[in-house]
Structure 1
């Protein structure tokens, strides 16, 4: 059975998701797993986990592009190991790679390495650009959104609202809520 997996990073990429779905159905996929989540947030990629659980011996997981599946060579090899352990294969449509063959496995590993190398080079250039901008006094970094809402965080906490709900209401991370509450508690204890 051909099992398709499609992913986009944001809800704004509806056309990209529709294109992937069209290509996967065109390739003959009988079952599709589709999600809109960042590749970095592996824990949130529930559909990928479900697809890997669903796959049986003789099946092939099909994706349109490598970057829709894995965030790094290590993650790619982990997915590939899971598939191989189940007696399944991986096919990447835009590369013409099929891991049911030894050549396909080799090509996938090499192409994954090149993709990761390109990403590292891009991140290095980004870091250099930020350092240059900081040296020139032009880079301020990301605005500290949670710190700007410290008063609201403390107020809601004193009203008995829990950390998760505070984060949700204010549009910030739970860790930021707890960090600010901890800092406020330390200041109060020191006073």
Structure 2
């Protein structure tokens, strides 16, 4: 049985999400698990797809980044699939782990993707360091400190930290830091 898995990070990516679903259905996936969550968030539908798959099945995704967030994560998914006798097919790469060549290609591509991500993060860190040296990098403006008077006023009215955070659109921890500046967490 072909089992599809489609994912986008946000609800704003409807076109990409619909394209994945169309491609999986056109390929003949009998069951498609789908979700719109960040790759780092709990992915209940991915877990359900892995649980649903049986020996001889193939899990199909349109792109590798829709499935795994890192080489380690990909390795864990492949390990779980192999333990159940389930193959993995990644359409845009033409990779199918039901073949020895497919398994090799997936390992190589996963390593290259991880290397690329690490290089991008290194370039980002270098760019930030350079901008800081030149005085151009200020970081994110502190949102809660700028609204300290509002936070204190709402607290004086008897509002809870959670209610203040929700009303002002800031984190509860930020409210706590404004109201308790001497706290060790500050």
Same topology, TM > 0.5: yes
Match of 1:111 in 2: 109
After superposition, the Cα gap between the structure-2 partners of 1:144 and 1:186, relative to the gap in structure 1 and judged at 3 Å, is: closer
After superposition, the Cα gap between the structure-2 partners of 1:105 and 1:153, relative to the gap in structure 1 and judged at 3 Å, is: farther
Residue by residue, what CA displacement relative to the aligned partner does 1:100-138 show, whole Å, maximum 9, x if unpaired?
A: 122211110110000111111111111111111111111
RMSD value, Cα: 2.2
Residue by residue, what CA displacement relative to the aligned partner does 1:45-102 show, whole Å, maximum 9, x if unpaired?
A: 2211221122122211100010111111000001111111122111000111111122
Q: Does 1:185 align with 2:177?
A: no
After superposition, the Cα gap between the structure-2 partners of 1:151 and 1:35, relative to the gap in structure 1 and judged at 3 Å, is: farther
Match of 2:80 in 1: 82
In structure 2, distance between residues paired with 1:105 and 1:166? 52
C-alpha deviation, 1:171, in angstroms: 2.9
In structure 2, distance between residues paired with 1:156 and 1:56? 56
Match of 2:24 in 1: 24
Unaligned runs of 5+ in 1: none
Query: Is the contact made by 1:6 and 1:35 (CA closer than 8 Å) also made in structure 2?
Result: yes
In structure 1, distance between residues paired with 2:24 and 2:178? 50
How many residues align? The count is 182
Query: Is the contact made by 1:72 and 1:116 (CA closer than 8 Å) also made in structure 2?
Result: yes
